[in-house]
Chain A
């Protein structure tokens, strides 16, 4: 019989206290595993979203706000960009794909963010090697009033292909637009903010009554936007087109014809942001630097602000939770110490018998240390199983509440560190009881 077998016997003899002690370790490890798995998923989620595109182009302002509104759709947009500017970007020889986004409205049911975009959005991978797939429908947005919805929206609102819905302007408390969109496809879950988004055809979004500004206001903003020396041609074009529109609308008004938004000309259209995939990585840096010098817009690589968001928000929460769970494990370690130490007085005779049978001091020291190690390892393995089990049980609820796709069996590399840490903890808490065994006076213990 080796030391571990003898230690295991002792653990089994005191099965209830041993079980409770191992359970306290298991609970600590369980919480830590749950935190690690969940935060690992959130961590990947934040990274994933940034990968699909090189740049996000938006009005000048906070890069963090641009990321929060464009990628996570949790913050109001900064402002809008002229549609012409999107067309300029699209025609830039360095740009491979330019995907416009227009948002700010939400669904009447569930207040899910509505994103006006083009079908190309669904063709660009949203994460490395992960492209959009459709779980229902299959038709992309062919018509002006077509919509594609995320899986979470479909589940929450009980919407499916063919369902019609309306949108609320500028937030859940705003005006309800009359126009109805029809769902043509439901996306498969992605584990990103896309699951909680409603995508509508950009043409339809821009054609909604109230999404076009008064011509005078548009003219002022456009001319301010294109105020540079290089923009003379564009200014002239805008002035000419707006003058023509004014003239046309004045004529229509004179004969009592309603100016229908469906006819919104490009010069009056606006987008909120543009996602860019560049032909080369270096082009992203070039374009970003160019825009930084100018006054029109900014083009940001989403990775840095997202990293900042992750560090500020997720990172700190993760650190706090890890600290708390580490404390729980440390307290569990103390309970192992108390359990073994309290049992030592009862076991002095047992130890003395082993010594009388020829066990060396180091052997009885090792037996007690092995007991501590076994309790920690049993607790650790149990905690690992329980931790993933907890995530397994909680995953559907978390997904329903947050849209986060959680794989309960995702193994975080840091979980491997748990066991060496537990071994160190076991050695520390087992040392004092083991020393008590080491110092046992055999004759004295046998006499008692």
Chain B
């Protein structure tokens, strides 16, 4: 898997209609099975970048190419399908659906690919993250660390080639932090999944071979900081 960003530009509009540049990236690349951590101050566009890569947010200009597919040229339904099949998402706040059990949350991740759900795979994934005994527990019945592990299992449910993790340890304690990070990294390594992880924690970033600071290659954030 490879991720290539070229000439990526994204502006937001202020209430008065004035454009606010958020992303202005000449180029960025992530190789197959590579694990990269992305750091940067709040508001520098990290989450927007992940949304752009996953096709949730559209670009003003530029291209995002994943495994040779230029997703910026895809229609919205095609982008949704691509995201369902090829991209896993781990959120800062886990974003598990409260009405669903751990197993159902993982199955939900499989529900939008069009190829049906694989219950045995979902159980395997939960077993892999150490939650085989929590299959039928709802999020509220689990600890914060357990919830994030369910979120990791859900992100891997469709055997993605790219995993996007947006500050996955921001809401877990120090003891769980390492466990979560190791779990994500190991799971990605085992399945040749590329990983792009956003974090504020220096100790997390220190674990990675490649650390990218967004403001170093995002010209929009630099100019924004100056004007602010």
Spell out A's residues near B (CB within 8 Å): 1-2, 6, 9-10, 12-13, 349-350, 353-363, 442-443, 446-447
Contacts and interface: CB of A to CB of B under 8 A. Distances in A.
Contacts of A357: 83-84, 89, 108-109, 111-112, 154
The 7 A-B pairs with the shortest beta carbon distances in the complex, nearest first, are A358-B84, A13-B99, A358-B112, A353-B95, A9-B99, A1-B111, A360-B80
A363 B114 CA distance: 11
A356 B89 contact: yes
A13 B99 CA distance: 5
Contact of B98 (A2, A13, A362): A13
Chain B CB within 10 Å, residue with most, of A13, A357, A362: A357
Interface in B28-87: 47-48, 51, 54, 56-57, 76-77, 80-81, 83-85
B108 A6 contact: yes
A350 B95 CA distance: 8
B2 interface: no
A442 B77 CA distance: 14
Contacts of B108: 1, 6, 354, 357
A354 to B, nearest CB: 7
| B57, B83, B85, B95 interface centre (most CB from chain A within 10 Å) | B95
B57 A355 contact: no
B118 to A, nearest CB: 12
B142 interface: no
B95 A349 contact: yes
B99 A10 contact: yes
Pick from B77, B98, B108 the residue with the most CB of A within 10 Å: B108
B146 interface: no
Contacts of A1: 104, 107-108, 111, 117
Contacts of A349: 95
Contacts of B85: 358
Contacts of A442: 51, 56
Contacts of A2: 111
Contacts of B154: 357
Contacts of A12: 99
B151 to A, nearest CB: 10
B80 A359 contact: yes
Interface of B: 47-48, 51, 54, 56-57, 76-77, 80-81, 83-85, 89, 91, 95, 97-100, 104, 107-109, 111-113, 117, 154, 158
Contacts of B98: 13
Contacts of B97: 9, 350, 353-354
Nearest to B100: A9
A2 B104 CA distance: 12
Contacts of A354: 97, 108, 112
B76 A358 contact: no
Contacts of B111: 1-2, 6, 357, 359
A10 B89 CA distance: 22
B189 to A, nearest CB: 23
A356 B54 contact: yes
Contacts of A9: 97, 99-100, 104
B134 to A, nearest CB: 18
Contacts of B84: 357-359
A32 B15 CA distance: 52
B99 to A, nearest CB: 3
A348 to B, nearest CB: 12
Contacts of A13: 98-99
Contact of B80 (A6, A358, A443, A446): A358
A358 B100 contact: no
B106 to A, nearest CB: 10
Contact of B81 (A360, A361, A443): A360
A296 to B, nearest CB: 80
17 contacts: A2-B111, A6-B108, A6-B111, A9-B100, A12-B99, A353-B97, A356-B83, A357-B109, A357-B112, A358-B85, A358-B113, A360-B112, A362-B77, A442-B56, A443-B47, A443-B48, A443-B57
B47 A447 contact: yes
A357 B48 CA distance: 16
A216 B95 CA distance: 102
Contacts of A353: 91, 95, 97
A357 B107 CA distance: 11
Contacts of B77: 360-362
Contacts of A359: 80, 84, 111-112
Nearest to B96: A353
A359 B95 CA distance: 15
Contacts of A350: 97
Contacts of A358: 80-81, 83-85, 112-113, 158
A26 B150 CA distance: 38
A162 B80 CA distance: 86
Contacts of A361: 76-77, 80
B104 A355 contact: no
B56 A355 contact: yes
A110 to B, nearest CB: 61
A16 to B, nearest CB: 14
Nearest to B84: A358
A362 B77 CA distance: 9
Nearest to A358: B84
Given A9-B104, A354-B108, 4 more contacts: A360-B76, A361-B80, A442-B51, A446-B51
A163 to B, nearest CB: 67
Given A10-B99, A357-B109, A359-B112, A446 B83 contact: no
A447 B45 CA distance: 12
Contacts of B100: 9
Contacts of A443: 47-48, 51, 56-57
